[in-house]
Amino acid sequence: MQWSKLKARVKERICPELRDRVDFHLTSYRRSHDDVDKVWITIDGEPLLKMKHYTHLRASYEAYACGLDGDAISSLLAELEIFHPQAFGNAMRSYLDLPISDALASTNPLIKAFAIIDRRVGKRTLTKLDISEADSTLIRAFYSLRLLLAMRISAD
């Protein structure tokens, strides 16, 4: 699926109050020898999370040089919130195919973050979520923003 179509489908699912505030961006450097990508997520135009090919590659090599391999590297990079840009597209595609309850329970922080801002998640479901400091920056930011909006709407 093309990036523009994928982005549009995900944005359609975002709650109306956040649809114009949250945005996803992708840049491909086609003239580079390996078509590297950069992905970033913004809230109100301010970057929240950046995913770069070379940052991920460098961190992977450093972890490997320290004696880690396979799953240990993947879990360390996830903990450090260093994602490969391709993981972003994969997470978007997976999110679109999942029921909202499965997306909210996902161990993939990108999928869970998309689910938190989904229009199908109501105030009761939102308040039942167990979000902690151990969760990713993206999840905590989307949760805080969504919870704030839910409380403001119920106060009106």
> Which pLDDT score is estimated for 37?
81
Residue for token digits 């179509």?
A: 5
* pLDDT tens digits, 115-153: 999 999 988 999 899 998 888 999 999 999 998 887 776
* pLDDT tens digits, 12-67: 999 999 999 999 998 877 766 555 588 999 999 999 999 998 899 999 999 999 99
* pLDDT tens digits, 63-106: 999 999 888 998 899 889 999 888 899 999 999 999 999 999 99
> Which pLDDT score is estimated for 154?
61
> Which pLDDT score is estimated for 100?
96
CB count within 10 Å of CB 48 equals: 16
Helices (H), the chain: 3-13, 16-19, 53-65, 70-79, 85-97, 100-104, 109-116, 123-128, 137-155
Tokens read off for 41: 């997520």
pTM over 0.85? The answer is yes
> Which pLDDT score is estimated for 155?
60
Q: Is 138 exposed, middle or buried (0-12, 13-18, 19+ CB in 10 A)?
A: buried
Q: Computed from CA positions of residues 149, 98, 78, 133, in that sequence, does the dihedral angle turn out positive or negative? A: positive
> Which pLDDT score is estimated for 16?
92
For the chain, the domains span: 3-155
Rounded Cα gap, residues 121 and 99, in angstroms:
11
